Amino acid sequence: MDATPTDGTPAVLFLCIENAGRSQMALGFFQHYASDRAIGWSGGSAPAASINPVAVEAMAELGIDISGEFPKPWTDEVVRSADVVITMGCGDSCPFYPGKRYEDWKVTDPKGGGIEYVRGIRDEIEQRVLGLLGELGVTAEPSITRA
């Protein structure tokens, strides 16, 4: 996670506890749809040993490869650099800095779920990411073709 000056480019940090499922899928969608028009990072308060393989599979079904990602902790530098901090289930363990825009997305944890279960979570996260990009004035493209 390299926190670099954004020069007016919106920067979003996606946080969950393990940084193995929800925040990784959110970052995957964000990077796909925003490309270089926005900056995205993800992190966890207690990172898991590895990314959720079912989350990787669910994203791959849509042509988004998150297999190269890995769970990582958030850093003060990245939190301070973000314009928007999206939390997903980390409650009081997520950082809070006054003056920063926070959103808490109540999204079910995909941990332990099969592919059908994770697809529903994935699709909810996709819609939330698209809404966020719209709020930030970032054009979401390219679209995803579903089979």
Q: CATH homologous superfamily for 11-136? A: Response regulator (3.40.50.2300)
Residue 52 pLDDT: 97
Query: In the chain, what are the domain boundaries?
Result: 11-136
Residue 5 pLDDT: 45
**Packed helices 115-136 and 53-60: angle between N→C axes, nearest 10 degrees:** 70
Structure tokens at 29: 């969608």
Residues known to be catalytic = 16, 90, 94
Which residues of the chain carry a pLDDT beneath 70? 1-7, 147
Residue 16 pLDDT: 92
| Residue 16 CB contacts under 8 Å (≥ 6 apart), including other chains | 22, 23, 44, 87, 88, 89, 90, 109
Give backbone dihedrals phi and psi of 16, rounded to 5 degrees, phi first. Answer: -145, -175
CA atoms within 13 A on the CB side of 62: 19
Residue 147 pLDDT: 63
Q: Which residues of 10-48 are buried (b: 16+ CB within 10 A; e: fewer)?
A: bbbbbbbbbbbbbbbbbbbbbbbbbeeebbbbbbbbebb
Residue 51 pLDDT: 97
Cβ distance 137 to 143 under 8 Å? no
Residue 63 pLDDT: 96
